[in-house]
Amino acid sequence: MSSLSEFSERKIFGTDGIRGVTNTYPMTPEISLALGKVLTKYLSERTSGHVKILVGKDTRLSGYVFEQAIASGITSMGGDVLLVGPLPTPAIAFLTSNMRATAGVVISASHNPYTDNGIKIFDSTGFKLSDGTEIEIEKMVLGDECMPSPSLTGKAKRIEDAVGRYIVFLKNTFPKNLTLEGLNIVVDCANGAAYKVAPIIFEELGAKVTTIGTEPNGTNINVDCGSLRPEILFEEVVRSGSDIGIALDGDADRVVFSDENGNEVDGDHVLAICSSEMIETETLSTDTVVATQMSNMALENYLNGHGLKLERTRVGDRYVVEAMRKIGANLGGEKSGHLLFLDHSTTGDGLLASLQILSIMKRREKSLSELAGIIDMFPQVLNSFEVKEKKPFEQIPGLAELTRESEEILGKKGRINIRYSGTELLARVMVEGENESLINEIASRISSVINKNIGTREL
């Protein structure tokens, strides 16, 4: 079971930056302004050059609020701001490094509703800040206010060619001897940050593209579209007779695929497909793939059967990246669709992952269903439900005993993972095993014990 001890010091930052309901603490203009000030001060004390911070966002309406607040904080402390507007989170990571910025800031709540927003920070190399750095910055935000100098004021400017830079970068990750000619692709951009760039990339590489979710209005991000509602994509792939479907989330750092038959291909399938390709091309480093506790046992069995190891981390793509960097791995990701190719990028990128899969389809001349058929997933059930508080699981009466008994029943043919969402008041209970009825029963019993103690409604 997970515990909350690792987050005991945190008051603003969660598992992936700051996130919450707009105009509700901590996602307020005041906190954003203070964060802009503190980040500039923090960086100026640790770098020799002038502080230059790149700021991007997704398409949700409140992006205007936080973009201006953060930019004001940065410039008030003498830092400069590079505004790139709506772009995928991985684009901000790339541009931060590419443009030699001191840091990058993304204003996005990823797959959450438009009423939420969040702030993620990248360092100058395009990697997310460590837990220790976030805690240090958080203490400064909650402490004494930074006092700007009357004589030191920065400036902000908009980078007009940011979209083009990112498109060129992504196209350069696709093999130059291949094109996408002859492929019909459905891409769902979730009315989010990739609504401009995604169709252009696939079309310029030669594909015929059908689009969903490319008309953002500030409030329709992730609404009945994108990776949260992939069934819409599945239906369109079948209806249009397309070869593949690509469903992104609001900030395009994760992706869910549809094969030509309208069947879901998730992150675990992608890791299996890409590891197989990288073994063949001798490009997989350390003979290890990194994934989280949520990845299916079938992936681990597949890798072990090919002489590879699966290194598991706690949930969150930042922890996958940390483990990859520590051991020197270049392939990792999450079942949910955060996929990491460190030879090309520093963070999860749904479009980059799509191009990797498309290149394998073209090189091997196989359909996505054929590629995904290399592993058969174990049945897995995931229960998510609202809770009043994130009480340490070890303090919930009867939970430890029930979990231990259930693990004994499953033996080596199943797994249990219980955790809280890092961004919402939700408990998540995952049970995996060969017997579908058994894992459903176990998940239901564990969920009931948690819900009875801290749940908000009957399950």
Q: Which residues are catalytic?
A: 110
Q: For residue 197, which of 265, 238, 248, 155 has the smallest C-alpha distance?
A: 248
What distance in Å separates the CA atoms of residue 431 and residue 441, rounded to the nearest whole number? Answer: 9
**In the structure encoding, which two tokens stand for residue 192, read together?**
């989010």
272-275 own/partner pairs: CB under 8 Å, 24+ apart? 272/299, 272/302, 272/303, 272/372, 272/374, 272/375, 273/357, 273/360, 273/371, 273/372, 273/374, 274/331, 274/339, 274/341, 274/356, 274/357, 274/360, 275/303, 275/306, 275/308, 275/331
What distance in Å separates the CA atoms of residue 390 and residue 2, rounded to the nearest whole number? Answer: 11
How far from 414 is each of 270, 380, 418, CA to CA, in Å? 22, 9, 14
Q: At what angle do helices 131-142 and 29-44 cross, to 10 degrees?
A: 120
What distance in Å separates the CA atoms of residue 274 and residue 180, rounded to the nearest whole number? Answer: 18
Phi, psi (degrees; rounded to nearest 5) at 197 = -75, -35
Q: For residue 419, which of 315, 271, 278 has the smallest C-alpha distance?
A: 315
Strands 288-292 and 309-313, bridge-based pairing: parallel
- Any idea which residue has 């290890």 for tokens? 288
Write the DSSP symbol of residue 412.
Answer: G
What distance in Å separates the CA atoms of residue 338 and residue 33, rounded to the nearest whole number? Answer: 30
What distance in Å separates the CA atoms of residue 388 and residue 396, rounded to the nearest whole number? Answer: 13
Yes or no: say if 344 and 173 are a contact pair by the CB < 8 Å rule: yes
- Any idea which residue has 């990058």 for tokens? 104
**In the structure encoding, which two tokens stand for residue 353, read together?**
């992952």
What distance in Å separates the CA atoms of residue 111 and residue 419, rounded to the nearest whole number? Answer: 19
- DSSP string of 47-116? -SS--EEEEEE-S-TTHHHHHHHHHHHHHHTT-EEEEEEE--HHHHHHHHHHTT-SEEEEE--TTS-TTE
